[in-house]
A and B are shown apart, each in its own frame.
Chain A
């Protein structure tokens, strides 16, 4: 019996539930030397903004116990250059490409989505309303439920492609945000973006990253991410893409059991750039072992008394 690994997120059909998270694989070209991207469920591009962004000055990253803090600051080439120089590569990889959009105003999100809607290779949008490392937009939107609703509605109005809202964990009621995204017309939510954290040098008494705070990722955040996914799963009927510290197939399956229809791999790509392939194979073997004919049977299959 062969296992059906395909899943759907709104109108988007993916060959398997393993996606590469935004900001952890650039625009795909470097990581394609390690693996065949056509085998991956989907690639989410690094955040694209209307204008190019230089990003934050160094130091941008620091390792923490079983995790890392980053404050890259959405460094990217801007939508015009993205279309000119990055889309041609993405057209060649035969993978499902989801474009992540970041912005500092509602109009900017809409304008980016409008421009990119014409690009056939882009099969959906992930809206970053939760970057913790930029002064304008980012987390300010992520914590403002009305803004998330407005952004979702306005972006929805300019594209028929699937719209995914990437939610911030830096809030006490993530499922309310998921509900708002659903009501605004989102096809799915992805959860979670990084958690705000910091780290100081005890001798210089200075922050280890220039931005003072950064986004915590890696295995350290997995239990938090699982709890957020579970919360959304129990409160809102919307496909969830689980993200947060997935290092291997067991982590991915755990997210799916807690309610994730698909998963995104982030920090692990920096350490093991072939992790996605190993995780797809691991999920497939698990399904066989559990005599599951479709991976969708695992989704939200938790037993809670």
Chain B
């Protein structure tokens, strides 16, 4: 974990409200694991004041990628970064996905911008595990397929793929997946993660979720991002330091 200033190579719009930013950093490209994140200072001034946390989306060669939706002043400023601009970030942060467990099929479930950490996970798992991916979005133009493979899609309005949410899509395919030894990786809004947790824990399915949360520091000093533990012992876990990836059995969502 350190502070880096790395140059932007490209920053382009890849969907209605989504950008993909490519930055040059051989060190971070080599060090970061899928599921880890960076805390980015989007402005040189005091507004916005705090850094913004983003999962690493992909790493290839000497470059790393971030995928983000524009939904506030911070992400709006980030979307305006151009080639050559320096990005001030703290990284690598968080724990990352547990990829080495004993399973043969990785089931990736992404809701909206929750797709962000999965291109890198796909890249790392490819070759050693079978990958099945389910991507959900409100409508066709909000389904983020960048860097994903072997996917099926779900949209709330039925404009593409399965009509309904991505967890319903996963549940409808579960009979087919059941014959293999699966591990589920999920990222998306909390109601989606809750549905994934309920489904997987009832069936004893090995499952990790990457949790999104507002943070200040990103490395454990501000105590601003607590998440309830399953085990009641009078303390919380911190999303930034103990996560952002959790085994579903360890947390209450």
Given A33-B1, A273-B3, A273-B90, residue A67 in contact with residue B49 (CB < 8 A): yes
Contacts of B47 in A (CB 8 A): 65-66
Q: Is the CB of B3 within 8 A of A218?
A: no
Contacts of B226 in A (CB 8 A): 55, 57-58, 60, 75
Query: How many Å lie between the Cα of A67 and that of B216 in the bound state?
Result: 11
Residue of B nearest to A222 (CB): B46
Interface size class of B (residues with CB under 8 A): 20 to 34
Query: How many Å lie between the Cα of A72 and that of B90 in the bound state?
Result: 23
Q: Is A30 an interface residue (CB 8 A)?
A: yes
Residue of B nearest to A66 (CB): B46
Give chain A nearest CB distance to B34 CB in angstroms.
Answer: 22
Bitwise, A270-282 to B at CB < 8 A (1) or not (0) is 1111100000000
Query: How many Å lie between the Cα of A237 and that of B221 in the bound state?
Result: 34
Q: Is the CB of B224 within 8 A of A55?
A: no
Residue of A nearest to B232 (CB): A54
Q: Is A267 an interface residue (CB 8 A)?
A: yes
Q: Is A219 an interface residue (CB 8 A)?
A: yes
Q: Which residues between 16 and 73 of chain A lie within 8 Å of chain B, taking CB atoms?
A: 23-26, 30-31, 33-34, 46, 52, 54-55, 57-63, 65-68, 70, 72
Q: Is the CB of A54 within 8 A of B235?
A: yes
Q: Is the CB of A26 within 8 A of B49?
A: no
Give chain B nearest CB distance to A221 CB in angstroms.
Answer: 12
Return the contact of A218 from the options B1, B49, B220 (Cβ within 8 A): B49
Max count, chain A CB within 10 A of own CB: residue among B49, B90, B213, B217:
B49
Q: Is B219 an interface residue (CB 8 A)?
A: yes
Residue of B nearest to A29 (CB): B220
Q: Is B236 an interface residue (CB 8 A)?
A: yes
Give chain A nearest CB distance to B30 CB in angstroms.
Answer: 19
Q: Is A269 an interface residue (CB 8 A)?
A: yes
Given A270-B217, A273-B90, residue A60 in contact with residue B224 (CB < 8 A): yes
Q: Is the CB of A54 within 8 A of B224?
A: no
Q: Is the CB of A60 within 8 A of B225?
A: yes
Return the contact of A30 from the options B41, B48, B51, B219 (Cβ within 8 A): B219
Bitwise, B1-15 to A at CB < 8 A (1) or not (0) is 111000000000000
Contacts of A219 in B (CB 8 A): 46, 49
Query: How many Å lie between the Cα of A61 and that of B90 in the bound state?
Result: 19
Q: Which residues between 73 and 94 of chain A lie within 8 Å of chain B, taking CB atoms?
A: 75
Give chain B nearest CB distance to A140 CB in angstroms.
Answer: 22
Bitwise, B153-188 to A at CB < 8 A (1) or not (0) is 000000000000000000000000000000000000
Give chain B nearest CB distance to A256 CB in angstroms.
Answer: 21
Q: Is B87 an interface residue (CB 8 A)?
A: no
Residue of A nearest to B215 (CB): A61
Return the contact of B2 from the options A34, A62, A75, A267 (Cβ within 8 A): A34
Bitwise, A142-181 to B at CB < 8 A (1) or not (0) is 0000000000000000000000000000000000000000
Given A33-B1, A66-B49, residue A24 in contact with residue B234 (CB < 8 A): no
Query: How many Å lie between the Cα of A267 and that of B226 in the bound state?
Result: 18
Q: Is A189 an interface residue (CB 8 A)?
A: no
Contacts of B225 in A (CB 8 A): 58, 60-61
Q: Is the CB of A75 within 8 A of B222?
A: no
Max count, chain A CB within 10 A of own CB: residue among B48, B223, B236:
B223
Return the contact of A70 from the options B41, B220, B224, B228 (Cβ within 8 A): B224
Contacts of A23 in B (CB 8 A): 223
Q: Is A247 an interface residue (CB 8 A)?
A: yes
Give chain A nearest CB distance to B161 CB in angstroms.
Answer: 29
Q: Is the CB of A58 within 8 A of B213?
A: yes
Bitwise, A259-296 to B at CB < 8 A (1) or not (0) is 00000000101111110000000000000000000000
Query: How many Å lie between the Cα of A283 and that of B235 in the bound state?
Result: 40
Q: Which residues between 174 and 233 of chain B lie within 8 Å of chain A, taking CB atoms?
A: 213-217, 219-228
Q: Is B29 an interface residue (CB 8 A)?
A: no
Contacts of A218 in B (CB 8 A): 46, 49
Q: Is the CB of A26 within 8 A of B234?
A: no
Return the contact of A75 from the options B213, B217, B219, B223 (Cβ within 8 A): B223
Return the contact of B216 from the options A55, A65, A68 (Cβ within 8 A): A68
Query: How many Å lie between the Cα of A62 and that of B72 in the bound state?
Result: 13
Contacts of A54 in B (CB 8 A): 234-236
Return the contact of A61 from the options B1, B2, B48, B224 (Cβ within 8 A): B224
Q: Is the CB of A271 within 8 A of B49?
A: yes
12 sample A-B contacts, Cβ–Cβ < 8 Å, listed by A number: A59-B214, A65-B47, A66-B46, A68-B49, A72-B224, A75-B226, A219-B46, A270-B216, A270-B222, A271-B41, A271-B217, A272-B3
> A residues within 8 Å of B by Cβ?
23-26, 30-31, 33-34, 46, 52, 54-55, 57-63, 65-68, 70, 72, 75, 218-219, 247, 267, 269-274
> B residues within 8 Å of A by Cβ?
1-3, 41, 46-51, 90, 213-217, 219-228, 234-236, 241
